[in-house]
Amino acid sequence: MSWRRQLSKLRKLFNRQTPADLNEEMRAHLQMEEDENRDAGMSSEEAHYAALRRFGNVTLAAEKSRDMWRWHSIEILLQDIRYGLRQIWRSPGFALSAVLTLMLGIGANTAIFSVVNAVVLRPLPYPEPDKIVAAYLVNPRDPAFRTSHGIADFEAAHDRQKSFSSFAAVEQGASYFTWTGGKEPVQVPGTAVTAEFFSVLGVSPALGRSFAAGEDVPGREHEVVLSHAFWQQHFGSDPLIIGRTLTLDGASHTIVGVMPAGFHFGVRDNDDLWPLRQLPTPRIRPPYFLQSIGRLKPGVNEAQAQADLSNIAADVQRQFPQSEYGEARIEPFKNLIVGEARMPLIVLLGAVVLVLLIATVNVANLEIAQASARDREMAIRAALGAGRGRIARQVLTESILLAALGGILGLLLAYGGVTLLRALAPGGLPRLKEITVDGQVLAFTAAVSLLCGVLFGLAPLMHGFGSRRNQAETLRGGAQNLNEQRERRGLRNALIILEVSLSLVLLVGAGLLLRSFERLTNTSPGFNSRSLVSGLLSLPKARYPKEQHIVAFYDQLLERIQHLPNVTSAGLTLSLPPDLLNLTNPFFVPSQPPSPGMSPPVAVEISVSLDYFRTLGVPLLRGRFFTDSDRGRPDGILIINNTMAQRYFPNQDPVGQRIKTGDVSPDTPWEAIVGVVSDVKYTGLDSGPEPTLYVPYFERGWTSFSREMFLVVRTSGDPKALAPALRAAVQELDSNMPLADIHTMDELLSNSVAQPRFRMLLITIFAAMALLLAAVGIFGVMAYLVSRRTREIGVRMALGASRGNVMGMVLGEGLRIVLIGVAIGLVEALALSRLIKSWLFNVQPVDPVTFLGVSLMVIVVAAWACYVPARRATKVDPIVTLRYE
């Protein structure tokens, strides 16, 4: 059809009186023919009928002419939609339950998909994000062991690489900068970066400039770039801010730029400051604390860049022969950001898809029930000439209409859900700020709704709805064809089995996570967490340049705090349990040297104050704690944990043994073990025992590592109430020093299980939804079956069946289906539970207790859903039913 015809039709569509003069025109035609016939000598009656014969079917011709002016398909669609809406209006109970069910399913899916979309699918918010890569080092003999760059590696890579248009490094680990000069000192989150950081990301400041190449060498002025939010909040969006200075960690930094609103460095979403990191010339290769990132030059691929950096890494290794990293690895920058978040999100998405499947199955069952009630209507339509395709079209329009309503409500639910998710999500979920309901999410919801509508719309069509087979039977008002009834029942039973099995899978997942979470929260961190409070101190180099200044400050502070009311004891530590680990170090035990070419073993190493163990309540197993008399010792001393003692000093007393730590060479001094304490967890409650070394913070070389220390205080009162007194004690000593991140130990423990709690919560919510939907589904089907079989039951009872018999019959039938569903569900769960293996702590994916408990729960709930309709069946009065028919 040509566009011109479509256009004329479009005009007519809004002007529904299609050729009104058509009838007149055709009447004139007939008259003329009649005139002619009369002129030819026919009688007037004969002339009239001859004209009509010649013309053919007048009504059909008129109808066809009018059809020429119609947009057939659209008109039929509009007609079907109008009809569908009326249908919904006519059976509000059915429509409401279908729409609400779909709302739950689609809403949950939309919410989780928004998260997956923002975190995993959407490209990073930088220009040409695929060009940005992260660089690592590996040991060629032990390639599983991967590390980031040290200063020597970064400098060499930066100066000699040929593959990147820009190359930069960021300092790893969460870091805060103490900003003084405002009302009171505050800790501001930020990341120290090298000069080309912003060019790698491809984002320029909205105000001022970014760092210039070559500014990141010692001796140059300190510079800093601010986030848009920080600039707004603290400087009232002052356009003249550029060039002013900010005192960070006691050093004056010139503000050179302000980033555009919304800019964030994916790894650390909340950063407000990007100070320029000045890198000194290194004497040794470690520590490896710089994450290098680069933007590939056009035409250079990752393999070429990796070869380029590998050559450089080999050179650096020759320069530092003790080190073992001689090769480079390149990975997409996105992996660095999204990394471990991907798999859990996809499992969550899988879980909500199951919920949606159950919801769809439920609605399909409702539709089948509804279809049985509408058999007569459909039979009449078919008898009046509606084709099977036409009826299918009508039914699908109705189901898609329902799905669309469910989708719209689901979208509203998802808006709320996304807000809730953003609030509940534990720290560590990357790109949290990017989670929104956007166009892609809308498209997803629309597609999912459409798919659901088609799926559950097909259910009633699959079995006889609208078929011509027994219209006559139906029209006569007789009972349904038995075969057809049986087929429909078969389909419904299959749907129930599917529903039960899927909800069982989700419940098993939830059960496993619940058990795992319970075990996790009951795990001891290795000390008594009650009545402990902690805070973070950081001593800026500018005001505490020498080791003695640091030691003096800490000694005075501990002295003061120990004399505060309600304080039992106070200590300092470089790493804070349960999961704030700051440093690991290689070590060398003479009795167990590493095999040649392999990386040396690594231990957690922590500098602590004298009273640290007493404050936490970590028991001493052998030897002694550190004492005042250890101050000023020329040699190094260590306390080790139980795991270290058992693994490296089996069958001997470790106290008195000597080991080396750090970069081990013949010149490295020996350190003596003076005590053994029990294990404490520093890398999360779910971590296994790790070898740990403790050193006194006042030991030579360690003091300067101890500028950032956690203060831990045990109190006899409420730990929360102690915070102001602690803050005051710090300020009395140094009015420019904040005490940041004050938390009770119980809070820290709770935060450390926030991620497993979040996952467990979501899966449990989904599983509960699934179970509820499945129960409603079973209930609906059983209730329908009972109502359909009222007569049969009446006959049975009239023939002498007892109530117990009837109850047993109905319950038995329902439970048989449920048990099949449970059996299939158990097999599915066995196959799928491995997916969450990495989330489980001390629970096997095939935990028999969980599998058994969940099966019982499903059976009990399903039995209840069968029992209510079954009881109704026993109330059937045989006389009434028999008379009724």
Minimum CB distance to other proteins, residue 484 (Å): 41
Choose which of 13, 26, 343, 475 interacts with other proteins (CB under 8 A): 26
Minimum CB distance to other proteins, residue 54 (Å): 5
Site residues (CB under 8 A) for other proteins, limited to 180-199: none
Can residue 5 be called a binding residue for other proteins (CB under 8 A)?
yes
**Which of 48-56, 221-229, 488-496, 776-784 is the region at the interface with other proteins (rule: CB under 8 A)?**
48-56
Site residues (CB under 8 A) for other proteins, limited to 711-730: none
Which CA distances in Å does 743 have to 174, 455, 684, 748?
17, 52, 17, 7
Q: How far apart are CA 433 and CA 418, in angstroms?
A: 11
Cα of first residue to Cα of last residue in the chain, in angstroms, is 56
- Tell whether the torsion through CA atoms of 57, 63, 67 and 69 is positive or negative: positive
Cβ nearer to other proteins, comparing 20 with 144: 20
Minimum CB distance to other proteins, residue 13 (Å): 13
**Which of 55-63, 144-152, 193-201, 481-489 is the region at the interface with other proteins (rule: CB under 8 A)?**
55-63
Q: How far apart are CA 437 and CA 284, in angstroms?
A: 49
Amino acid, res. 26: M
Can residue 23 be called a binding residue for other proteins (CB under 8 A)?
no
> In terms of Cα–Cα distance, which of 360, 374, 466 is closest to 406?
360
Can residue 32 be called a binding residue for other proteins (CB under 8 A)?
yes
Which CA distances in Å does 445 have to 358, 405, 407, 410?
17, 12, 7, 8
Choose which of 13, 38, 48, 58 interacts with other proteins (CB under 8 A): 58
Which CA distances in Å does 846 have to 443, 509, 793, 829?
38, 10, 43, 9
**Which of 25-33, 311-319, 585-593, 682-690 is the region at the interface with other proteins (rule: CB under 8 A)?**
25-33
Q: Evaluate whether 625 touches 610 at the Cβ level (below 8 Å).
A: yes
Q: Evaluate whether 480 touches 372 at the Cβ level (below 8 Å).
A: yes
Can residue 35 be called a binding residue for other proteins (CB under 8 A)?
yes
Site residues (CB under 8 A) for other proteins, limited to 213-272: none
Cβ nearer to other proteins, comparing 4 with 183: 4
Sequence length of the chain is 885
Alpha carbons within 13 angstroms on the beta-carbon side of residue 132 total 27
| Angle of the 745-752 helix axis to the 754-788 helix axis, nearest 10 | 50
Cβ nearer to other proteins, comparing 60 with 799: 60
Minimum CB distance to other proteins, residue 433 (Å): 55
Can residue 47 be called a binding residue for other proteins (CB under 8 A)?
no
**Which of 27-35, 185-193, 467-475, 787-795 is the region at the interface with other proteins (rule: CB under 8 A)?**
27-35
Main-chain phi, psi angles of 216, to 5 degrees? -90, 40
Can residue 49 be called a binding residue for other proteins (CB under 8 A)?
no
Choose which of 43, 46, 57, 206 interacts with other proteins (CB under 8 A): 57
Can residue 25 be called a binding residue for other proteins (CB under 8 A)?
yes
Can residue 318 be called a binding residue for other proteins (CB under 8 A)?
no
What residue spans of 219-323 are helical by DSSP H? 228-235, 302-319
Can residue 41 be called a binding residue for other proteins (CB under 8 A)?
yes
Q: Binding pattern to other proteins, positions 67-96, x when CB under 8 A? A: xxx---------------------------
With contacts defined by CB under 8 A, how many residues of the chain interact with other proteins?
32
Q: Evaluate whether 314 touches 186 at the Cβ level (below 8 Å).
A: no
Which CA distances in Å does 144 have to 293, 374, 875?
20, 65, 70
Q: Can the peptide bond before residue 287 be classed as cis, meaning omega within 30 degrees of 0? A: yes
Can residue 56 be called a binding residue for other proteins (CB under 8 A)?
yes
Can residue 31 be called a binding residue for other proteins (CB under 8 A)?
yes
Amino acid, res. 534: S
Choose which of 13, 38, 48, 65 interacts with other proteins (CB under 8 A): 65
Main-chain phi, psi angles of 635, to 5 degrees? -100, 165
Cβ nearer to other proteins, comparing 24 with 877: 24
User: Would you tell me which residues interact with other proteins (CB under 8 A)?
Assistant: 2, 4-5, 8-9, 19, 21-22, 24-26, 28-29, 31-33, 35, 40-41, 54-58, 60-62, 64-65, 67-69
